[in-house]
Amino acid sequence: MTADQGKAAADLLATVWEGEFPATCAVLAAVKDDNRGYKPDPKSRSAWELATHLALADVWFIECITKGAFEWNQDAVKQAESEFKNVDDIVAFYKKSFPEKLAALRALPAEKSTEELDCFGVLKMSRARFIGFANNHSIHHRGQLAAYLRAMGSKVPNIYGPSADAKG
C-alpha cells in the first residue's frame, strides 16, 4: 500500500468511526447512575465498568495509533476512572476527548498511515488498519452495553435505526 492509499484508508476508517460517535454517546448517556452497577451475570462487567472502558479505550486507542506505540499505564487508567463520579462525567469526557484525539490522528502525514505498529506482540498491522480494529473494539463494547440497557431499566437509544424505546 502506498502512503497515499494508506492515508485514504485511514481517513475513510476515521470517518466511519466518527460516524459511530453519536450512537456511542447516546448509549453511554442511557446508563443511569442509579442502575450503573447492573451486570447480567457475575462474570460480566457492570454497566459502569463497560461505560468507563468504552470511553477510555476509544481515546487510548486513538492516542496510541497517533503516537505510533501501544503503551499501557494502569495507574493512569485508575486515575482517569477516579475522575468519573457519574455517567454525565463519562459522557462529557468522551464528547470532548474523542473528537480532539481523532482530529490529531487525521492530521498525521500520509507516510505514517502505512507504518506497522505492534500492539503488545499480539497484533501487528498498519496505523490505518488499527483505526478499523479500534472502531470494531468500540462497537463490540457499545453493543454489550446497549444489550444491558433495557434489562437494567434504561431506554435503548437509536443506534442504526429507530429503537423500540424511541418509537412513539
- pLDDT tens-digit profile of 58-93? 999 999 999 999 999 999 999 999 999 999 999 999
Overall number of domains in the chain: 1
Q: What is the pLDDT of residue 166?
A: 81
Distances (CA, A) of 36 to 40, 61, 82, 100, 133: 12, 24, 15, 27, 27
Q: What is the pLDDT of residue 167?
A: 73
Summarize the confidence of residues 137-157 as an average pLDDT. 97
- pTM for the whole thing? 0.95
Round to whole Å and give the CA distance between 17 and 91.
Answer: 17
Q: Considering the domain boundaries, does residue 130 fall inside one?
A: yes
Q: Considering the domain boundaries, does residue 161 fall inside one?
A: no
Q: Considering the domain boundaries, does residue 154 fall inside one?
A: no
Q: Considering the domain boundaries, does residue 65 fall inside one?
A: yes
Torsion sign, CA atoms 118, 104, 31, 137: negative
What is the domain-level CATH number for residue 77? 1.20.120.450
Domain range spanning residue 7?
3-149
Q: Considering the domain boundaries, does residue 69 fall inside one?
A: yes
For residue 168, pLDDT over 90 is answered with no
Q: Which of 15, 31, 23 is nearest to 159 (CA)?
A: 23
pLDDT digits (tens, 9 = 90+) for 96-135: 999 999 999 999 999 999 999 999 999 999 999 999 999 9
Q: Considering the domain boundaries, does residue 160 fall inside one?
A: no
pLDDT digits (tens, 9 = 90+) for 37-56: 999 999 999 999 999 999 99
Q: Considering the domain boundaries, does residue 86 fall inside one?
A: yes
CA 163-58-40 angle, 5° bins: 50
